[in-house]
Amino acid sequence: MLAAADHRSPKALGVKIIAVHRTFTGRKPVEALAGVDMEIEPGEFVALLGPSGCGKSTLLRLIAGLDQPDAGAVILDGQDPRRLRRGEIGYVFQDAGLLPWRDVTANVELPLEILGVAKAQRSEAALAAIRDVGIDDAADRYPAQLSGGMKMRASLARAIVTRPRLLLLDEPFAALDEISRHALDEQLRELWHETEITVVFVTHSITEAAYLARRAVVFSRRPARVVFDHVLALPDQRPASIRTEASFASEMHLLYDALAKGESGL
């Protein structure tokens, strides 16, 4: 997996979030995060759940170094996220964000192009990433020719083409139909097993969190605080059929109760 993109040997990043506060100023200041503490071990797959607008996406942006906390600290591998080399963090947004004038291969190549990787090497790496997400038959298509699921697969390929040490995903499959969403969840989990990188995944879906993650963290309504931090009592290998098992339903029930608690502000 990802052999063609092996221009460095990744080691999964650990994440430390220490008493993080973030308030957005304006006519009416919005307090998004109020003293969030969390530690994510290298190689973990963590799902973040919580009410809409509670600050999950804000926290993801802070981890990526795209925004800065007003107080507290975010530390990746012992340092500020902004000090990491480019390409060490992959980010998949809610919208695929593909450039309409570039085909799939050229879109996936873009991070390597920005890094100054030679054309032949970045094309090889892009095609390998495209194969990894299962859309190699669409490598020369343009975004307008792709389904929603294929666009998100291309976006995922673009995020992993640099062999990141940390992959951040902000509700990437929320707009897809259930079948496409399940297929992409399975693809993502397979990629995580094979790459062994750290993954932080924001979702509103209890089912998705229970299927994907090794650990689920549930936040209260804004300003976010952690109300439930739970290692899922499910096997590490999870076939699609696990969604119908009693153990899976039990974990979903725990997450639902925690979400209800977070929504109520208790």
Whether 265 shows a pLDDT value over 80: the answer reads no
Do you find a cis peptide bond into 223, omega within 30 degrees of 0?
A: yes
How would you class 28 by CB atoms within 10 Å of its CB: exposed for 0-12, middle for 13-18, buried for 19 or more?
exposed
Q: 131 is written with which tokens? A: 């194969």
pLDDT of residue 205: 92
Residue pair 48/40 in contact (Cβ under 8 Å)? The answer is no
For residues 16 and 30, what is the distance between their CA atoms, to the nearest angstrom? 24
Site of tokens 């797959």: 45
pLDDT of residue 9: 42
Q: Quick one: the chain helix, strand, coil %, rounded to 5? A: 40, 20, 35
Whether 164 shows a pLDDT value over 50: the answer reads yes
Q: 159 is written with which tokens? A: 């995020």
Name 76's bridge partners. Answer: 15, 79
Higher pLDDT, 28 or 214: 214
pLDDT of residue 84: 79
Whether 5 shows a pLDDT value over 60: the answer reads no
Whether 97 shows a pLDDT value over 60: the answer reads yes
For residues 153 and 173, what is the distance between their CA atoms, to the nearest angstrom? 10
Read off the pTM: 0.92
Give the ranges where the chain is alpha helix by DSSP (H).
56-64, 104-114, 119-132, 148-160, 178-195, 206-212, 246-264
Q: What does the pLDDT average to over 182-191?
A: 91
For residues 64 and 70, what is the distance between their CA atoms, to the nearest angstrom? 15
